[in-house]
Chains A and B, each alone.
Chain A
């Protein structure tokens, strides 16, 4: 099963390699990993999407907890949470289909963030299915490049999970 694990870590030298190395060294799978500072500049949040049976996920969370740089491990999968990805999609546009592309952008509440004579760059956020859907709809026009972040996620619970 797919799990989204939120990990708060000390924002220090080499911490990303400690986390990613744990996954590669023990043969765990990483589907995506996003990391950035939290409100506290000494703490970073990593959102890791991984896959495995209960036993594997249990090992992943325990092993993460064991790392000295890890402050808090929180498997969001079992509870309500909000997950988002961001994509930048550069799509070819000719004069005759500009309107059609714009209407797709509109329907998905996306944004055109860069325009050139022959392309639009579209910014969109959402869950994975939404991003897949917009990519599929834009594909016929000719997608030149796509850049996507991995998933970031927060629990819906009111309480902050240590760090902010």
Chain B
């Protein structure tokens, strides 16, 4: 049967198993919206296209399925760029369909025309302009394939209006044929053996796990390996939840705001096992003094990640889950493992000592003063950790990472690589769409939340009970903290001055607004918020304005030069 391009798009999405799209209509995508009108696909109408991409991203991170976006040409398309770049930096599978002016007008500065394929080239894994309806199904198949396989990432498909209204036979390809794109999943057997030998020889091993563990659903394999070999584990921000935050082998996050134990362990380790992590500069600190005594083993699906920042001794290219399984198969016998455990005791004791002597902590506020860390602790306590946490970017993000314990993968959603303010609320909405029954909380700052606060309206419209906990310190807190350390407390333009009344704002949108300014009010506010099931809740926690995030490794310093509380 012949169909329009727009119908072919929707039918293709259904074939891909898509249930929800996040979008915003406009002139050239009207053919798609007309088909959507009576399609079984759920469409979430956003308030800003950046929000749509973050929602699709949050949906993907929480569920493991690709997030899908449809927006119009020109401004609709350019508004997606920040969301796409965010997904790109964190390797999140998102497929963005942008409308484009008719092919005959492309390049003519037509109304609402933008060269979105050109604009998004550096921040997509791959992108397409479909110039002929004959290419449409093949392109969609490829787009989903590329977005979800290998190292995942965002893919953009630009759809000119004439392609959307042209007619063609609908035949969806069974597989994508991309000779130039053959991700390597299986790790080299010899390298796996070599890595295992080095690990068993080590006396001070450390596992440094990143977002790749979560993307590859390798958390169970990681846990098994760490437990069998008694290796202490640290995760990156992106890796949180990839190893249980409550586990005795877990040292917390490493890097700039990492724990003392994790950073000291990495500095002193003789064998660093990097798993699905990419040695980001926020993690390594001064690169020359990062893990200076270690043999470095690096497991990653992306060969470009290997030896990019840090010279690696044993690289293994392939899928983390499969490789960890292979490693599990060549473990020594029970008796030898017992022996091995004995040999590691001094190291494990040393790590425990670091953990004990420099716990993550903060000074409790004077009477009546609310500390932001306390709010995060209370959120953890009252949800018993059973929540999906998203964050904005800045101090709120770091406190969330430090004081909430993530037991399961896909429960901590945060813009790691790009550090996108305004990510948290739309990502929370996306996660809530994927899991309507789960508790989803955006831990936010008063600065970040205002970057996409308009999505409160989306949450209200779809009755999504997303919770936002604003750690309101009236500052762009992380920047202010840097000004405090490195610019002599010259707080140039980091004081927010005029803030909206967040309680009234929430109410204006049709949500629930709550406020706590004293420690004793926090619990009641959170409990009340958790009870709301049919609309978003904004909790305004008025916290100590000049609180800092500790520990902190100043930029350019090695990890063991930490400023502690």
Give A contacts to B, CB under 8 Å: 9-10, 13-14, 17-18, 21, 25, 55, 58-59, 62-63, 65-72
Contact = CB atoms under 8 A, between A and B. Distances in A.
A10 B180 contact: yes
A17 B118 contact: yes
B302 A66 contact: yes
8 contacts: A13-B117, A14-B117, A14-B127, A17-B121, A55-B307, A59-B304, A66-B302, A69-B126
Contact of B129 (A13, A58, A69): A13
A14 B121 contact: yes
Contacts of A14: 117-118, 121, 127, 129
B178 interface: yes
A46 to B, nearest CB: 13
Contacts of B126: 67-69
Contacts of B308: 59
Contact of A25 (B122, B131, B146): B122
A88 B333 CA distance: 72
B303 interface: yes
A71 B180 contact: yes
Interface of B: 117-118, 121-122, 125-127, 129, 131, 146, 178-181, 302-304, 307-308
A68 B129 contact: no
B304 A66 contact: yes
A70 B129 CA distance: 17
Nearest to A9: B180
A25 B118 CA distance: 13
A62 B180 contact: no
Contact of B125 (A17, A65, A68): A68
7 pairs of A and B residues whose beta carbons are closest in the complex: A68-B126, A71-B180, A62-B304, A68-B181, A25-B122, A62-B303, A70-B180
Nearest to B123: A25
B121 A66 contact: no
Contacts of A69: 126, 180
Contact of A68 (B117, B180, B303): B180
Given A68-B178, A68-B180, 17 more contacts: A9-B180, A13-B129, A13-B131, A14-B127, A18-B121, A21-B121, A25-B122, A59-B304, A65-B303, A67-B180, A68-B181, A69-B126, A69-B180, A70-B180, A71-B179, A71-B180, A72-B180
A17 B117 CA distance: 10
B180 A58 contact: no
Given A59-B304, A66-B303, A66-B304, A21 B180 contact: no
Contacts of B180: 9-10, 67-72
A96 B131 CA distance: 58
A13 B303 CA distance: 26
Contacts of A13: 117, 129, 131
A58 B302 contact: no
B307 A58 contact: yes
A13 B127 CA distance: 10
Contacts of B181: 68
B89 to A, nearest CB: 13
Contacts of A62: 303-304
A9 B181 CA distance: 11
A67 B117 CA distance: 15
Contacts of A70: 180
Nearest to B305: A62
A69 to B, nearest CB: 6
A36 B178 CA distance: 21
A65 to B, nearest CB: 7
Nearest to A20: B121
A82 B121 CA distance: 33
A16 to B, nearest CB: 11
A130 B127 CA distance: 41
Contacts of A10: 180
B151 to A, nearest CB: 8
Contacts of B304: 59, 62-63, 66
A63 B180 CA distance: 13
B280 to A, nearest CB: 16
A24 B146 CA distance: 23
A71 B180 CA distance: 4
Nearest to B118: A17
A26 B467 CA distance: 39
Nearest to A55: B307
